Amino acid sequence: MKDWEIACGVLVDEHGNPGWWCGVCGKQRTAGSTVAAASGLLDAHLASPLHRYHAGRIARGLRPWTTARPEGSRL
């Protein structure tokens, strides 16, 4: 398993601003004024359809946050 497949959590940046990141979806957000608020927003993200979509891509062996196009596709 690669690091970006499992890395999700709450962080505090160098300025003391709490936030969260999701290595599955490739998202990082500054959130709220407390670590508890950031934790709540991360929990909401982990239950979201977007996160489930990206986790499903990983389960199928695809990169989670890029659009895969078939070879020869003109899209």
Global pTM exceeds 0.75: no
Residue 13 amino acid letter:
D
DSSP 57: H
Q: Which amino acid is at 49?
A: P
**Please, what is the angle between helix 49-59 and helix 35-46, to 10°?**
60
| Share of residues in the chain with pLDDT > 90 (%) | 0
Among 42, 60, 67, 69, smallest CA distance to 5 is for 60
64 pLDDT band, cuts 50/70/90, is low
CA 35 to chain centre: 17
* Cα separations in angstroms, 49 against 6, 17, 33, 45, 75: 17, 27, 25, 8, 25
For the chain, give every domain's residue range.
3-59
30-63 confidence digits (pLDDT tens): 876 788 888 888 888 888 898 888 888 878 877 6
